Amino acid sequence: MNHPVSALPVGDGRWRWAGVLTLYILSGGLAFVGLRRIFFLSHRVPPEESVACIVLGVAFLLFSAGALYLARRLSNASKEKRGFAASRHATALSMRYGVLIALIALLLFPVLWMLISSLQSSHRLMSLPPQFALGSDSGFFNYQKIFAKPEYVRYFINSFITAGGTVLMVLFISIPAGFSFSRYRFRGRNAILTTILSVQMFPIVVILISLYTFYMKWDLLNRYMGVILADTTFALPLAITLMKSFFDTLPRSLDESARIDGAGRMRTLIRILLPLTLPGLVAVGIYTFLSAWDDYLMSMTIMQTNHMKTLPVGLAQSFLGEYAHDYGALMAFSMAGSLPIVLLFLFFQKYMISGLTAGAVKG
């Protein structure tokens, strides 16, 4: 006797989906075992047994294909069963969230391990097997160690000064440069843009020796301006390109309207266009701050005295010794050094994802 779909029990469709899901899992497991035997185990067994291992692997692959075929047939035959589609959708949603949670946990595990390590002593960190749980000797003594010494605090201050100065200088140059390349057409415009971008083709180590010689003659060694100029040189090409692209998104009707009202070029840039590029300014500022905050090679070459070292240089030279490493203090210093970048993204993320020209032009 045939029953309408609405009269069928819901459990029938759910049980059928459970069978289909089991067949899918079985097919995947058999395929994994078969491929493992063919590509891995066959090379580790004696030569006289490798053929049998490959044949057995092929058999597993055939069984996997058979299970997949049965799963497809059962799935097609059960589409009209009540509760089947809902169960399949719930399983797909659960698997999607499961994969997302697993990826987030995988990405956050190094941060969690760094945080746990910063609360433990170095000898506990070197124990085998690794201990993920906090013990009775865990605490904030590593943080007390790094903030109790004035030289460690000085590393933070130096990094803030160099990174902040680099951001200000890059924005001061990239805003009018990006505006000029976006709004005006002049001879050699493309050649100049290409030349600016070509700076990033050269690695930092190529110019270190000549840069050190020039800085020594110009008395810029062990000075904040020396690091700021060096970091600005390498951050400026991308900053100019980004600012040009941000200005390109703004309609030229804004410039024309401001010109009709009597505004000059600089007033149009500062009063009309610049507020609309706030997300672009934030993006360029964060990129520049991040690159300057993480700079190691330039700072190590230019800043030679201990009280002028920046955070990455002080981090590497204070806790990584020739005969011993203070991993606990190293992790605590790394956590403290990463905190400004994290806070920067948390507070300014809304500007980075907001629309650049929302409400700029009526209609």
Q: For residue 234, give the CATH number of its domain.
A: 1.10.3720.10
Domain boundary among 77, 105, 133: 105
Q: Is residue 302 part of a domain?
A: yes
Q: Is residue 167 part of a domain?
A: yes
- pLDDT of 7: 43
Residues 153 and 285 in one domain: yes
Length of the chain, in residues? 363
Residues 69 and 178 in one domain: no
pTM of the model as a whole: 0.72
Residues 170 and 291 in one domain: yes
Q: Is the pLDDT reported for residue 2 higher than 80?
A: no
Total H helices, total E strands in the chain: 16, 0
Residues 145 and 98 in one domain: no
Q: Is residue 48 part of a domain?
A: yes
Q: Give dist(CA 226, CA 307) in Å, integer.
A: 15
- pLDDT of 342: 85
pLDDT (average), residues 322-331: 76
What is the domain extent for residue 43?
Answer: 7-105
Question: pLDDT tens digits for 243-274?
Answer: 888 888 888 888 888 888 888 888 888 888 88
Residues 51 and 164 in one domain: no
Q: Is residue 112 part of a domain?
A: no
- pLDDT of 167: 94
Question: pLDDT tens digits for 92-120?
Answer: 899 899 999 999 999 988 888 888 888 88
pLDDT (average), residues 74-100: 86
Q: Give dist(CA 218, CA 224) in Å, integer.
A: 13
Q: Which tokens in the block code for residue 257?
A: 């309207």
Q: Give dist(CA 90, CA 88) in Å, integer.
A: 5
Nearest to 295 by CA among 312, 283, 315: 312
- pLDDT of 8: 41
Q: Is residue 165 part of a domain?
A: yes
Number of domains in the chain: 2
